Amino acid sequence: MAPAVPTAMARPHFIGIGGAGMSGIAKILATRGARVAGSDAKDSETAAALRALGAMVHIGHAAAHLADDATCVVVSSAIRDDNPELAAARERGVPVVHRSDALAALMTDTRAIAVAGTHGKTTTTSMLAVSLSTLGLDPSYAIGGDLDVPGSNARHGGGEIFVAEADESDRSFHKYAPEVAIVLNVELDHHANYASMDEIYESFETFADRTVPGGTLVIAADHAGARELTSRLRGREDLRIVTYGEAADADVRIVGIAPHGLTSEVTVLLGGDQLTFTVSVPGRHYAHNAVAALTAGTALGIPAAELAPALASYTGVKRRLQLKGSAAGVQVIDSYAHHPTEIAADLEAIRGSAADGRVLVVFQPHLFSRTQQLATEMGEALALADASVVLDIYPAREDPIPGVTSALIIDAATAKGADTTAEHDKNAVPDRIAGMAKPGDLVLTMGAGDVTELGPKILSALATVES
């Protein structure tokens, strides 16, 4: 039986309901019996999935979309103050609730696992959701990406466990009080909200301190930022810290990662026992994510010998090295990577699967602020590809910054000897890539913006060349 919906969220209105985080909360509330409504800038398969659950989804933003009986308006940090629905809510005195507060309310009275870190949150949350479901534990979950079909980013389950992706970008992860907190890595990012690494550390400390008394922090032992955070948290009362990784002092130690095509075989030492299991996605970083998930599950009392094989049932999430298809002997893969560390990790993972083929990248930088701070590192990471085409910056919620363009990234890549060129017309990319690619090559569409839309178009252009 679904838990009662809080009165304040009985008839919620979501502004930007089609977004990854917002749609998941809307889905869970609709499943629990709330009368969900909302709006989004454009129609989508996610919007259609929400309508199938009974939600009213408007396309475009207008004050008239806010129903007279709305009990609250749910927003994310991406919603601007001049949004007409937000302005109407404030004028009428309708409570405005941040997405993180809505999610925190849904997690009340559950055994919550909150997954944080600069990279890998969606993958690790998904690994837990899939493996716990495979074991019949029927978890609830809220993920920042779709597992397989649109709308599969969240689920209301009948079990006691709730797994949620915890977003540090706007400090909203301070709202959660998990039984198990995971920190995968700690790096400087989200430059519009954090001015220094000290601010990042302080924010992650607050997140860790929100763990319920007697709860567990699962944290990486191999990552410099995570190790610094661990040292800052040592001695906290009522917080158990369990480290994982390849470092000699890791509590759950990875002693082997053996790649096998697009899978890996991972061996860990846990509680004095050696355990080997399969990770069904390629790359060392995904193996580490799986071990983080394993460690978190055992912290809840799930036997490692049962959870480890169940982790193999995770076969990927949309936009995380997702194979879009093949044409003319060329595979097209979609990657959400937008931070230099993520770019390098995904390129290294794909390089191991490319055999004698080349790795070609279509990269779309995400955010002017991120590009301003990390353009050099992005360019250096792109040098791992055999050739790359760089699009204009995807602005998302930001206004342009004078002098900050994709040229900064291209210059940095070129300085490292990379074959990197600009393409200002996104519509020209499919034919351009079709002219570059040869049988055996791998093409990655990479970035957190709408570059993901190019995969099918590249495949069509390749098929035309083949015929």
288-328 pLDDT, tens digit each = 999 999 999 999 999 999 999 999 988 776 666 788 888 99
Q: How many CB atoms lie within 10 A of CB 218?
A: 28
- Which CATH number fits the domain that encloses residue 371? 3.90.190.20
If you ran DSSP here, which 8-state letter would residue 176 be given? -
Expressed as residue numbers, the domain containing 391 is 320-466
CB atoms < 10 A from the CB of 397, how many?
11
Q: Is residue 292 a contact partner of residue 184, using CB atoms and an 8 Å limit?
A: yes
Own/partner pairs, 193-201, CB within 8 angstroms, 24+ separation: 193/169, 197/225, 200/168, 200/225, 201/225, 201/228, 201/229, 201/232
Both 233 and 293 in one domain: the answer is yes
Measured CA to CA, the distance from residue 79 to residue 65 in angstroms comes to: 16
**Does 451 lie in the same domain as 329?**
yes
Q: What is the dihedral of CA 109, 113, 116, 122, to 10 degrees?
A: -110
**Is residue 448 one of the residues assigned to a domain?**
yes
* pLDDT recorded at residue 1: 41
Is 265 a domain residue? yes
- Using only the alpha carbons of the chain, give its radius of gyration: 22
User: Side by side, which strands form the sheet with 161-165?
Assistant: 154-155, 140-142, 161-165, 111-116, 180-183, 215-220, 239-245, 252-260, 263-270, 273-279
Phi and psi dihedrals of 420, rounded to 5?
Answer: -135, 130
Last residue in a domain, options 96, 119, 150: 96
Contact (CB, 8 A) for 317 and 123: yes
Confirm if 129 and 163 have CB atoms less than 8 A apart.
yes
What is the phi-psi region of residue 314: left when phi exceeds 0, alpha when psi lies from -120 to 50, beta otherwise? beta
Residue positions forming the annotated binding site for ATP: 117-123
The binding site consists of 117-123
Are 138 and 247 within one domain? yes
**Residue 128 to residue 311: CA distance in whole angstroms:** 8
Judge whether 322 and 316 are in contact, CB under 8 Å. Answer: yes
Contact indicator for 432, 391 with CB cutoff of 8 Å: no
**Could you tell me if residue 218 is inside a domain?**
yes
Last residue within a domain, chosen from 290, 313, 336: 313
282 and 166 within one domain: yes
Q: Are residues 59 and 161 in the same domain?
A: no
Same domain, yes or no: 334 and 357: yes
Q: Is residue 101 part of a domain?
A: no
Spatial distance between the Cα atoms of 49 and 107, rounded to a whole number of angstroms: 22
Boundary-marking domain end, from 288, 313, 338:
313
In a domain, 123, yes or no: yes
Q: Name the phi and psi angles at 128, rounded to 5.
A: -65, -45
86 and 125, same structural domain? no
Whether the CB-CB separation of 112 and 277 falls below 8 Å is answered with: no
Same domain? 175 vs 300? yes
Residue 91 in any domain: the answer is yes
| 31, 46, 122, 445: the active-site residue | 122
Assess whether 165 carries a catalytic annotation.
Answer: yes
Instruction: Spell out, as residue ranges, where the chain has pLDDT lower than 70.
Output: 1-6, 145-151, 190-192, 261, 317-320, 352-354, 466-467
Catalytic residue among 121, 324, 426, 457: 121
Instruction: Identify residue 290 by its one-letter amino acid code.
Output: A
pLDDT at 150: 52
State whether 300 and 348 are in the same domain.
no
Residues paired with residue 111 on neighbouring β-strands, in sequence order: 161
Q: Give the pLDDT confidence of 43-91 residue by residue, as tens digits.
A: 988 899 999 999 999 999 999 999 999 999 999 988 989 999 999 999 9
Max distance between CA atoms of the chain, in angstroms, equals 67
What value, to the nearest 5°, has the Cα angle with vertex 405 and ends 403 and 407? 110
Question: What tokens were used for 298?
Answer: 């055992």
- Name the catalytic one among 165, 179, 342, 423: 165
Q: Count how many domains the chain has.
A: 3
Q: Are residues 28 and 143 in the same domain?
A: no
Question: Given this model, what pLDDT does residue 194 score?
Answer: 77
Q: Can you give the three-state secondary structure of 199-251, one letter per residue?
A: HHHHHHHHHHHCCCCCEEEEEECCCHHHHHHHHHHCCCCCEEEEEEECCCCCC
Residue 390 is encoded by which pair of tokens? 């760089």
Same structural domain, 138 and 286: yes
Q: Is residue 2 in a domain?
A: no
Q: Are residues 294 and 361 in the same domain?
A: no
Q: Is residue 424 part of a domain?
A: yes
